[in-house]
Structure 1
Amino acid sequence: MPPLMLSKRLSSVQGVRLAGASSTWDINIHYPPDCPGGIIASCTPHHNATPGNDPASTPLALPALTHPHIHLDKAFVHSAREYAHLLPSTGSFQEALSVTTVAKQRFTRPDLLNRGEWLVAESVSWGVTAMRAFVEVDHTVKLICLDAAMDLKSQWNDVCEIQIVCFAQDPIFSTQHGEENRDFLETALEQYPQIDVIGTTPYVESTIEAAKRNIDWAIDRALQLDKHLDFHLDYNLDSSKEALLWHVLHSLRQRGWTGSSTAKRVMLGHCTRLTLLADEKWREVSRIIHDNDLPVSFVGLPTSDLYMASPPPDPNGAPDRPRGTLRVPEMIRKHDLDAVIGVNNVGNAFTPWGPPDPLFLACLGVGVYQAGTQADAELLYECVSTRARAAIGLSPSHSNIAVKEGERPDFLVFHNRDVTGCGIAARPRSSVAEIVWDPPAQLNRDVLFNGRLKRSGLPTLRNDFSYVFSTE
């Protein structure tokens, strides 16, 4: 069951700080008939501050977080007793594929709903109000993962907007089960019109020709059915392998998929092979995308990529084994590409470490990308909030991290409550950078979705600030 939101809608959140502002503000929310989820009508200066109160110690309001790429059906396999025998023994990518295949044979509807609720509940508690959730469809699981995901999407609709990806992890144009897997995808797309996204994994095909057929089929079906498209792509660090990115871009151009012809977008995930590209090639990628108005975004998945993506073994036994993940800030700033970061997997053999907290990723990015300035921190926050939401097609465009007039009332209120149990004044986080450098605990995050509040679990402190509820 989803968490109980407070029954009344909020009319304002008073006395909070906004990104880039030193004073405190009131966020005023209206609910016009054509917008039942509400809209931020205005942000006005707060005039009832307690004398002597330091604005830096007051709560900070920032946009809600987004999962642009997360696997719903494989989440927390390591936390379920029925899969205790499938814990990693080597930690390799091939082992992860193998044990996950075995795990999928044991998936049941109650198990999928249980683990799925763990993921959604924890994500919402961290501040996620939108997610793109991958669920597998193939000859092993058939439609059971998709069926469970649809129930979760409906049950949690009042708390989190869940985009469902009908996802082919396995080959659909090679191996003995390729045609059968593709048939299950077609059946799913016919039976579940509420599917939002078609997703495939071209690199698992047996040949490069089959991988390109996989790409072309997915593009054609997404265009025909007016769905978003999401590829797991080029997940290797092998310079001898052809990067499939070029075929994706060629196929999109050939079929006329442009930002002006459709509101649907294309996401390319992992793409670790592209970290081997020289700047000249990156400039070419950017030129092709911009010159042809291709609505393409990239999502780096650092917790999985750093754990799994490594180069092939050196035949001479050289010990150098660098890891690879997309350099997201550089892609944005240097090459003018649309790029974000996502959690991908949690609690399974592909990614046995890390929580489903997008801010954990933003914090990790400080070290991974050597991005230690305040401007870097603000960009990283965008990559797990407003940029991520726009990249999956839930916002028309990205617009920095200022909560402002005209936007949806979906945001986080970060508190400075003492959670140490030591009875001392809490250490304030006075800027976006401090939020990213040292993400607050769940108990210091209140979540608003469609103007309704999910409290963190602690009562609001006196003189902290005020939630004002609508009388309508």
Structure 2
Amino acid sequence: MPPLRLSDRLESIKGVRLAGSPHACDVNVHYSSDTCHGTIASITPHDFPPNSEPSQPPLLLPALTHPHIHLDKAFVHSASEYAHLLPSTGTFQEALSFTTEAKASFTRSDLLTRGEWLLAESVSSGVTAIRAFVEIDHTVQLKCLDAGVTLKDQWSNACEIQIVCFAQDPIFSSDFGEENMVLIEKALARYPQIDVIGTTPYVESSIEAAKKNIDWAVDQALQLEKHLDFHLDYHLDPNKEALVWYLLETLKQRGWTTTSITKRVMLGHCTRLSLFSEREWAQISRIIHENDLPVSFVGLPTSDLYMAAPQQENQGKPRGTLEVPEIIRKYELDVVMGVNNVGNAFTPWGSADPLFLACLGVGLYQAGSQTDAGLLYECVSTRARASIGLSSPKKSLAINEGDCADFIVFRDRDDTGCGISRPRKSVAEIVWDPPGRINRDLVVNGRLNVSRGTNYDAEPLYQYL
């Protein structure tokens, strides 16, 4: 049985407000004959009966996206079999060590259970698109990938899941590098469900091996026509070479944009880049724009703030994470935000709700204006979806004809138990203080999530075919 119970196809959602508009409208849905996927047919003014217009119609916004999240390592701390692996020092090396030990005990049932926890909490928050990392190496073999592919199929009615075949461990160094690479190439040949190739160049034992890692990944992605996703430059050492320069040059030299490939390249973490000067950021922007490189950056602040500590002698410095709004506005680069890890030694705090990230960004980036709030919402919704190649580039929260019918309708239900509900009238109020899941009605491909048991049939808001 599918994990999410969806309604019949919606004909329209009536009397809702869209971002930036005070007026109520009807969002009408069309379904393709071949896929039955819902898209926006039209948006028309809503005609309220006389004297019945509510003071604040519900706000309809685009659904949320996870552009970068680890499916196989989620909620390790919530599983009893890993109770002995709770953090004691909170260091990156401890997280690597504890995670390696945990991976040795992964089972299919355990992976499916924790994966379902993550997907359930994500979808109920309003997520309909996910880029999910699953690790392949000598420890887990293809176990995580197999579980990820199963979950991708089981949850296909609720969200679109991109599977990342991910090399967390070295593939050009260490005693197991060659075995790790063989396993990844085996997986790529065997599983057509893999959408993305992901590696972690910085785990290699030398800068030369890290560059070989990049070369191999770029060549594989070009040959197999896969998206590419790097964990890159995850440190705060100003004396260590930033690999972003080598990667951009490699994409140019390999002719990423001159071939027929239409896939994108994502760079995650990149905390070393938080030390870059304006001149260096301007140079990155110039290289990307002049060569039309489809490169996006994803800031992962919950992990970065916890893990990306400065060197011991520089403890007075702030921790590093990408300055998302500034990079977008000043350098016109494509930057989004992702949850990354949840409930494990790399990130024991935070939740699977992308709106938690948008809210965190208000304080983290001192982004307190209503315009800032709109941008932060885009970074976990429309911009994030486009960055992983699931939609054309979109730099607003506008709902347009032809868009996928994936929405959140924000309601004003009482979630206090006191018979009192507080309306959130704008995108800013949604971001500044995200409402609970009970106040988020999720529409997936034109169908309403009715799993919660609310009597949606009695609501004039939703009209069915």
TM-score (norm 2): 0.97
Equivalent residue, structure 1, for 2:396? 400
Q: What is the CA-CA distance between 1:107 and the residue it aligns to?
A: 0.2
Letter of the 1:439 partner, please give it. Answer: P
Deviation per residue, 1:404-454 (Å, 9 max, x gap): 221111111010111111112x11100000000000100000111111111
Q: What is the aligned-residue identity percentage?
A: 68
Moved more, 289-298 or 26-35: 26-35
Work out whether 1:154 is the aligned partner of 2:153: yes
Equivalent residue, structure 2, for 1:31? 31
Work out whether 1:210 is the aligned partner of 2:209: yes
Work out whether 1:11 is the aligned partner of 2:7: no
The answer to whether the 8 Å contact 2:4/2:158 transfers is: no
Letter of the 2:429 partner, please give it. Answer: E
The answer to whether the 8 Å contact 1:412/1:445 transfers is: yes
Runs of 5+ in structure 1 lacking a partner?
none
Work out whether 1:376 is the aligned partner of 2:372: yes
Question: What is the 5 A alignment of 1:101-112?
Answer: 101-112=100-111
Distance 1:260 1:297 in 2: 19
Distance 1:277 1:356 in 2: 30
Work out whether 1:295 is the aligned partner of 2:290: no
Q: What is the CA-CA distance between 1:3 and the residue it aligns to?
A: 3.1
Equivalent residue, structure 1, for 2:324? 328
Work out whether 1:439 is the aligned partner of 2:434: yes
Equivalent residue, structure 2, for 1:264? 263
Structure 1 residues 319 and 164, CA, compared in 2 at 3 Å: closer, same or farther?
A: closer
The answer to whether the 8 Å contact 1:196/1:227 transfers is: yes
Distance 1:132 1:65 in 2: 12
Q: What is the CA-CA distance between 1:389 and the residue it aligns to?
A: 0.3
Deviation per residue, 1:336-356 (Å, 9 max, x gap): 100000000000000000110
Equivalent residue, structure 2, for 1:391? 387
The answer to whether the 8 Å contact 1:238/1:311 transfers is: yes
Moved more, 26-35 or 67-76: 26-35
Deviation per residue, 1:237-286 (Å, 9 max, x gap): 11000000000001000001028742100000000000000000100000
Secondary structure at the counterpart of residue 28 of structure 1: strand
The answer to whether the 8 Å contact 1:132/1:164 transfers is: yes
Moved more, 34-43 or 441-450: 34-43
Deviation >4 Å, runs of 4+: 460-465
The answer to whether the 8 Å contact 1:59/1:465 transfers is: no
Secondary structure at the counterpart of residue 452 of structure 2: coil
Letter of the 2:335 partner, please give it. Answer: A
Distance 2:67 2:456 in 1: 33
Equivalent residue, structure 2, for 1:421? 417
Runs of 5+ in structure 2 lacking a partner?
none
Distance 1:319 1:118 in 2: 36
Secondary structure at the counterpart of residue 8 of structure 2: coil
The answer to whether the 8 Å contact 2:450/2:456 transfers is: no
Distance 1:338 1:464 in 2: 39
Secondary structure at the counterpart of residue 8 of structure 1: strand
TM-score (norm 1): 0.96
Distance 1:54 1:33 in 2: 36
Secondary structure at the counterpart of residue 158 of structure 2: coil
The answer to whether the 8 Å contact 1:70/1:345 transfers is: yes
Q: What is the CA-CA distance between 1:50 and the residue it aligns to?
A: 6.7
Letter of the 1:287 partner, please give it. Answer: R
Structure 1 residues 344 and 259, CA, compared in 2 at 3 Å: closer, same or farther?
A: farther
Distance 2:360 2:96 in 1: 25
The answer to whether the 8 Å contact 1:260/1:293 transfers is: no
Secondary structure at the counterpart of residue 88 of structure 2: coil
Structure 1 residues 138 and 463, CA, compared in 2 at 3 Å: closer, same or farther?
A: closer
Equivalent residue, structure 2, for 1:88? 87
Structure 1 residues 93 and 231, CA, compared in 2 at 3 Å: closer, same or farther?
A: same
The answer to whether the 8 Å contact 1:5/1:452 transfers is: no
Structure 1 residues 188 and 68, CA, compared in 2 at 3 Å: closer, same or farther?
A: same
Equivalent residue, structure 1, for 2:341? 345
Structure 1 residues 404 and 50, CA, compared in 2 at 3 Å: closer, same or farther?
A: farther
Equivalent residue, structure 2, for 1:74? 73
Secondary structure at the counterpart of residue 185 of structure 1: helix
Secondary structure at the counterpart of residue 224 of structure 1: helix
Distance 1:109 1:43 in 2: 45
Distance 1:395 1:462 in 2: 31
Deviation per residue, 1:74-105 (Å, 9 max, x gap): 00000000000000010000000000000000
Q: What is the CA-CA distance between 1:53 and the residue it aligns to?
A: 4.1
Secondary structure at the counterpart of residue 26 of structure 1: strand
Work out whether 1:363 is the aligned partner of 2:362: no
Equivalent residue, structure 1, for 2:230? 231
Equivalent residue, structure 1, for 2:114? 115
Letter of the 2:319 partner, please give it. Answer: R
Q: Number of matched residues?
A: 465
The answer to whether the 8 Å contact 1:386/1:401 transfers is: yes
Distance 1:3 1:107 in 2: 23
